[in-house]
Homo-oligomer: A and B are copies of this chain.
Amino acid sequence: MKALFVNCTLKPSSETSHTGALMRRSVHILQEEGIEVETIRPIDYHISHSVNPDDKLSDDWSLLFPKIMESKILVMGSPIWLGERSSVASKFIERLYAHSAETNELDQYTYYNKVGGVVVTGNEDGAKEVSRSLLYALQHMGFVIPPQADAYWVGDAGPGPSYIEEGKENAFTASAIKTMSWNIIHMARLLLSNPIPAEGNIAYK
């Protein structure tokens, strides 16, 4: 089973990402359970702003989309800017959405039987709003959202240290990242052996 972790930080892979550090804790849990995990940062690729499915051929989206389709699990990570998800996360969601008219062999939406989760870090406030936004988008496009599918760290109000400096010892965050990771594993395994029946849920066209 494969999982794709998409870190929507604004920083390329040459720079340290706090969100990436929290995501790695989840990656380790999945790997210990035998899941093959790949982590990408969309900012490392040339991805256009688009909701047009045909655009997938003209930029690096054609490199990323197969990774999504091969994965049973999609975990999106995002920093928080002004209390909301990053523009990279917004762009990635729009590109996912461009495929919303595509279907599987049973005529369900193409993302059916995949499981979604979210990881967020910020130096303060906004994590639940980012999770709310990303989890809603994923379920709307066909992903299953297991219980407690979001894990985050934020510091107290105002500018200040970020996750790597200050958040690693937070017991609440440690519990949340563990719970999220295990619940996406449990749900992915469940759906692997019990895909959602194609009754009553064929794609609207």
Contact = CB atoms under 8 A, between A and B. Distances in A.
A76 B149 CA distance: 20
A186 B194 CA distance: 10
A28 interface: no
Contacts of A164: none
Interface stretch (A56-64, A66-74, A122-130): A122-130
Given A10-B50, A49-B10, A87-B49, A194 B190 contact: yes
Interface string A5-28: 000001000000000000000000
B204 A10 contact: no
Given A157-B172, A186-B199, A139 B133 contact: no
Chain A: number of interface residues, binned into ranges: 35 or more
B152 A154 contact: no
A182 B170 contact: no
Interface string A99-128: 000000000110110000000000011111
Nearest to A48: B10
Given A94-B87, A125-B125, A158 B139 contact: no
A88 B49 CA distance: 7
Interface in A145-175: 145-150, 152-159, 166-167, 170-173, 175
Copies in the complex: 4
B148 A173 contact: no
17 contacts: A82-B128, A82-B140, A84-B90, A87-B88, A87-B94, A109-B147, A109-B148, A111-B147, A136-B136, A144-B146, A146-B196, A154-B157, A157-B173, A172-B204, A179-B200, A179-B201, A186-B196
Interface of A: 10, 29, 43, 49-51, 81-88, 90-91, 93-94, 97, 108-109, 111-112, 124-129, 131-133, 135-137, 139-150, 152-159, 166-167, 170-173, 175-176, 178-179, 181-183, 185-187, 190, 194, 196-197, 199-201, 204
